Amino acid sequence: MASMAAFIAVVAPNSLHSISNPLRPQLPARLRRALPPPVPVPVPFAIGKGRSTALRRAASCSLIEPDGGTLVDLVAREGPAREALRRDAARCPQIKLSRIDLEWVHVLSEGWASPLCGFMREAEFLQTLHFNCLRLGDGSIANMSVPIVLAIDDAQKRAIGDRRRIALVDARDKPVAILSDIEIYKHNKEERIARTWGTTAPGLPYVEEAITNAGNWLIGGDLEVIERIKYNDGLDKYRLSPAELREEFSRRNADAVFAFQLRNPVHNGHALLMTDTRRCLLEMGYKNPILLLHPLGGYTKADDVPLHWRMKQHEKVLEDGVLNPETTVVAIFPSPMHYAGPTEVQWHAKSRINAGANFYIVGRDPAGMSHPIEKRDLYDADHGKKVLSMAPGLERLNILPFKVAAYDKKQKKMAFFDPSRHQDFLFISGTKMRTLAKNRENPPDGFMCPGGWDVLVEYYDSVAPQGANKFREAVPA
């Protein structure tokens, strides 16, 4: 499981040239169709061997180019085009979307998966499963490590027949999108699970939620979304699209953007890693590095703290001054969580490039989980950072090792681990943190800001069975 050891992944453009670079990917027609005209983006200095020196010489004020060169936007413009889509949806066969399906529509519509412009057809699905990337029209590749697919059953397949367009509707039968130029192909669930997770063991959360009982067919095609996806849960203000994030970074005059994804409450060990990353970037020559604190907002497993409570806790972290609001952007990443370890962390890194981040902090065992049936972690804790350094389509990504953070009992705060005085450090696991919160016990001073800890205790109080406060759980050592 992820610990407080972390690494900085540096996204470094691999060309010294600018917008006229002939190697820039040229997308096939179907991937270009929904895109606006390309916007010239200067490419900063390359980083390879001796990258610290290069960074000091050439800290760039431009944001990194999205995959494929242009950010995908699949949401219809307000006006006649949107109304025409609504009328068209009423005449098409309809497929009802699950909660996770709708989250993937959200992801696709805003360009997080650029240059992908819809649910995957078979060729894209197979490339993703077997190569973790998509080959574009000019022969270049874009990383794509998790399948973004839509499953249908036999009855839905028969209802569609030979039609080339279908409407996608939400749980209330409200039209959400049109899928056109469709292709239907076999959903080989075992192959998909084995390739994505590296195991077919029972108990994988995403598999049980979204694959096991899904249909035996997949349907791919070009996506046109009628209007922006909203959840009306009080958190939509945090759901900034990649385009909006890029605008915000530009407004703040960011010359570096470093992203930190998490699906847990922020403690002071996380904050230490984030603030120390900014210090390193300043030493490299950047003038205004901006942190993207980017909690995952799609599907998570049942024992994860729900998004509403995590966002409430993150707000307290900023209010208490643990992170600087002037140099931090808090936003929600809409993707569902697979818990697919090294395979999934590629998706997490790739999508943040599309949002404009050129640095990515990745911890031990990113996107990992405990083995569902054995008493061990499902993935090697170091494989995530190693895979990122080798992943196809992420050649611009360089990994810098970071030191382990733990609770320093002498200094009474989170600090980088010093093996010469190992007896002074306490490693507080996620299990121990949760147990303390459930028992309404305080962690050591300096582990988490008081306001953030109060939110965590409040959450566990809210889900505790009546009378459970009479019994305390044993706190792990």
pLDDT at 295: 97
pLDDT at 41: 32
pLDDT at 50: 30
- The reply to whether 210 and 256 lie within a common domain is no
Examine residue 410 and state whether it is found in any structural domain, yes or no.
yes
Look up tokens 């907002």; give the residue: 297
d(CA 360, CA 353): 9
- The reply to whether 263 and 135 lie within a common domain is no
pLDDT at 233: 97
**Angle at alpha carbon of residue 48, lines to 350 and 354, rounded to 5°:** 20
pLDDT at 269: 93
The residue type at 341: G
Give a three-class secondary structure readout of 303-360: CCCCHHHHHHHHHHHHHCCCCCHHHEEECCECCCCCCCHHHHHHHHHHHHHHCCCCEE
Alpha helices in 111-163 (DSSP H): 122-131, 154-160
Give the domain-ending residue among 225, 255, 276: 225
pLDDT at 469: 53
Q: Which of 469, 434, 403 is nearest to 5 (CA)?
A: 403
pLDDT at 53: 27
- The reply to whether 277 and 156 lie within a common domain is no
pLDDT at 135: 95
How much is the pTM? 0.87
- The reply to whether 263 and 400 lie within a common domain is yes
Q: What does 20-80 look like in DSSP terms, one character per residue?
A: T-TTS----HHHHTTPPPPPP-------STTHHHHHHH---SSPPPPTTSS----BPPTTH
d(CA 405, CA 394): 27
- The reply to whether 181 and 286 lie within a common domain is no
Give the domain-ending residue among 165, 196, 225: 225
**CATH code of the domain in which 113 resides:** 3.10.400.10
- The reply to whether 385 and 421 lie within a common domain is yes
On the question of a cis peptide bond just before residue 115, with omega within 30 degrees of 0, the verdict is yes
Examine residue 468 and state whether it is found in any structural domain, yes or no.
no
Evaluated on CA atoms 445, 450, 452, 455, the torsion sign reads positive
Examine residue 70 and state whether it is found in any structural domain, yes or no.
no
Number of domains the chain is built from? 2
Examine residue 55 and state whether it is found in any structural domain, yes or no.
no
**Sites in the chain below the pLDDT cut of 70:** 1-61, 397-402, 467-477
- The reply to whether 165 and 245 lie within a common domain is no
- The reply to whether 247 and 387 lie within a common domain is yes
Examine residue 69 and state whether it is found in any structural domain, yes or no.
no
Helix 450-463 to helix 430-438 angle, to the nearest 10 degrees?
Answer: 70
pLDDT per residue over 419-445, tens digit each?
999 999 999 988 899 899 999 999 999
- The reply to whether 214 and 244 lie within a common domain is no
- The reply to whether 174 and 245 lie within a common domain is no
- The reply to whether 306 and 333 lie within a common domain is yes
Examine residue 104 and state whether it is found in any structural domain, yes or no.
yes
The domain in which residue 406 lies consists of 240-463
Q: Copy the structure tokens of residue 212.
A: 């096991």
**CATH code of the domain in which 455 resides:** 3.40.50.620
- The reply to whether 288 and 372 lie within a common domain is yes
pLDDT per residue over 1-25, tens digit each?
444 444 445 554 433 222 223 233 3
Q: Are 58 and 44 in contact (CB under 8 A)?
A: yes
Give the domain-ending residue among 169, 196, 225: 225
pLDDT at 318: 96
What are 235's strand-pairing partners? none
Examine residue 64 and state whether it is found in any structural domain, yes or no.
no
